[in-house]
Amino acid sequence: MKLWQKNTDVNKAVEAFTVGRDREMDLYLAEADVLGSLAHTRMLESIGLLTPEELAAVQRELKAILADIRAGNFRIEAGTEDVHSQVEFLLTERIGDTGKKIHSGRSRNDQVLVDLRLFLRRQILETVEEVRQLFDTLQGLAARHRDVLMPGYTHLQVAMPSSFGLWFGAYAESLVDDLQLMLAAWRVCNRNPLGSAAGYGSSFPLNRTMTTELLGFDSPDYNVVYAQMGRGKTERVLAQAMSSVAATLARLAMDNTMFLNQNFGFISYPPELTTGSSIMPHKKNPDVWEIMRGKCNLIQALPNQIVVLTTNLPLGYNRDLQLLKEALFPAITDLRDCLRMARFMLENVSVREDILDDPKYDYLFSVETVNRLVLDGVPFREAYRKVGMDIENGTYRAQRKVHHTHEGSIGNLCLEQVAGLMDETVGRFGFERAGEAERRLAE
């Protein structure tokens, strides 16, 4: 029996097709669903739709259900349509008709919206924590290897001297910018749609400010129609932020795959972190980085997948939106797995310290030679021509010294400044306020 069902049974094939994987995906939302109901029922009591005694019973049993969810004992039973129905059925079984009152002033539309917002902001918090840990690892590697030189490339051609400090540090700073996009996703996500009902409000005198404060949101989605339009938009903005983190990881994975190759040989990993070949005994394959590259490339396609799914949907709720969960939720898990695995691998990386001793890298230092001539008073174009002619004539002799002092260069990585940018960015999320609101509701 469905909450909305009257006297007609739904065709079994239609039910199976339309429900799809919704029960599986809704398990992700169970904790958020109860938190939303804890706030909503307190608001219902404040406007006279629940008595204090009814509220006490509802709150007690909702918290018991929440404890079951956190202990891993919650299931959406066969024949129950979704997590919202399961929670309400359990509540009604335990406290009788009072359990049937908790849906007053709500629709499953705004209920799933608030569940998604609460769930997704938790995923943002956990993703930011993983990004921060990878950032710290990269910063530590940059500091440790700041003086170890390596080739720099343009067009994949040997170009100028670089360093492992620059390489590791570059990816650390990239993560700072990625979190700027994640911060924008948090701002969009951390607004309260509860009270928009089916998208057109309610004749009950709902106190949306109260539920906003109880749930720790920054503000409501004020316009009830727009609140419903946020379904799909929130997921798209978060997917864009995820794709930015994934792009950084995919590029880092490609670098590791390339630099581990024998033709480069810049880095190495313990043999237990690589895989072998079934017929070539010398092989040490970078499978972790290759899988990570593939997963992250798929995550970079996620925003477009969401756009295609939601483009030009008519106003109001449409069942197509159910499929967003199937696209987004596994991708969140994959991204965090990639962040953790990247950190684990880099904690075990070894760098080669004598790379530039090879004569094939002599021309890396040609720009250094040009610059020394300029510092001695030779016009740049003349210095450039002279060194170019020496290279063509075979008379160029590399002086393997690098003297870079400006901000962000080999000799001045500005790691403290980059760490300050990360601290500032993470501090702007305001995770503590949202977390404290959820803790108070569950007490």
Q: Provide the whole-model pTM.
A: 0.91
The ranges assigned to domains in the chain are 12-101, 108-357+407-442, 359-393
pLDDT given for residue 420 in this prediction? 98
- Does pLDDT of 400 surpass 90? no
- Does pLDDT of 4 surpass 50? no
Q: How far apart are CA 149 and CA 274, in angstroms?
A: 25
What would the mean pLDDT of 115-142 be, rounded to a whole number?
Answer: 98
What's the burial of 100, exposed, middle or buried (CB within 10 Å: 0-12/13-18/19+)? Answer: middle
pLDDT given for residue 87 in this prediction? 93
* Domain 12-101, CATH number (from 1.10.3720.10, 1.10.290.10, 1.10.275.10, 1.10.10.10): 1.10.275.10
Locate 51 and state its tokens. 């008595």
pLDDT given for residue 170 in this prediction? 97
What would the mean pLDDT of 119-137 be, rounded to a whole number?
Answer: 98
What would the mean pLDDT of 204-230 be, rounded to a whole number?
Answer: 95
Q: Which residue type occupies 311?
A: T
Q: How far apart are CA 415 and CA 173, in angstroms?
A: 9
216: region left, alpha or beta (phi > 0 left; psi from -120 to 50 alpha) = left
The pLDDT-based confidence of 19 (bands split at 50, 70, 90) is low
The pLDDT-based confidence of 24 (bands split at 50, 70, 90) is confident
In degrees rounded to 5, what are phi and psi of residue 439? -65, -40
Whole-angstrom CA distances from 284 to 170, 262, 429 are 26, 10, 41
79-88, 95-104, 250-259, 341-350, range with the lowest pLDDT: 79-88
What would the mean pLDDT of 277-299 be, rounded to a whole number?
Answer: 84
- Does pLDDT of 277 surpass 70? no
Q: How far apart are CA 89 and CA 331, in angstroms?
A: 31
- Does pLDDT of 16 surpass 60? yes
89-93, 150-154, 232-236, 366-370, range with the lowest pLDDT: 366-370
* Average pLDDT, rounded, for the chain: 92
- Does pLDDT of 68 surpass 90? yes
What would the mean pLDDT of 271-280 be, rounded to a whole number?
Answer: 72
pLDDT given for residue 2 in this prediction? 54
Q: How far apart are CA 256 and CA 290, in angstroms?
A: 9
143-157, 207-221, 319-333, 398-412, range with the lowest pLDDT: 398-412
- Does pLDDT of 3 surpass 80? no
The pLDDT-based confidence of 15 (bands split at 50, 70, 90) is low
- Does pLDDT of 194 surpass 60? yes
The pLDDT-based confidence of 371 (bands split at 50, 70, 90) is confident
Q: What is the 3 state secondary structure string of the chain?
A: CCCCCCCCCCCHHHHHHHHCCHHHHHHHHHHHHHHHHHHHHHHHHHCCCCCHHHHHHHHHHHHHHHHHHHCCCCCCCCCCCCHHHHHHHHHHHHHHHHHHHCCCCCCHHHHHHHHHHHHHHHHHHHHHHHHHHHHHHHHHHHHHCCCCEEEEEECCEEEEEEEHHHHHHHHHHHHHHHHHHHHHHHHHHCEECCCCCCCCCCCCCCCHHHHHHHCCCCEECCCHHHHHHHHHHHHHHHHHHHHHHHHHHHHHHHHHHHHHCCCCCCEECCHHHCECCCCCCCCCECHHHHHHHHHHHHHHCHHHHHHHHHCCCCCCCCHHHHHHHHHHHHHHHHHHHHHHHHHHHHCCCEECCCHHHCHHHHHHHHHHHHHHHHHCCCCHHHHHHHHHHHHHHCCCCCCCCCCCCCCCECCECCHHHHHHHHHHHHHCCCHHHHHHHHHHHHC
Q: Could you read off the pLDDT of 376-396 as tens digits, one per residue? A: 999 999 989 998 998 899 888
**Class of the CATH-defined domain 108-357+407-442:** mainly alpha
Q: How far apart are CA 384 and CA 215, in angstroms?
A: 64
Highest mean pLDDT, choosing among 94-98, 310-314, 321-325: 94-98
Residue owning tokens 């992700």:
28
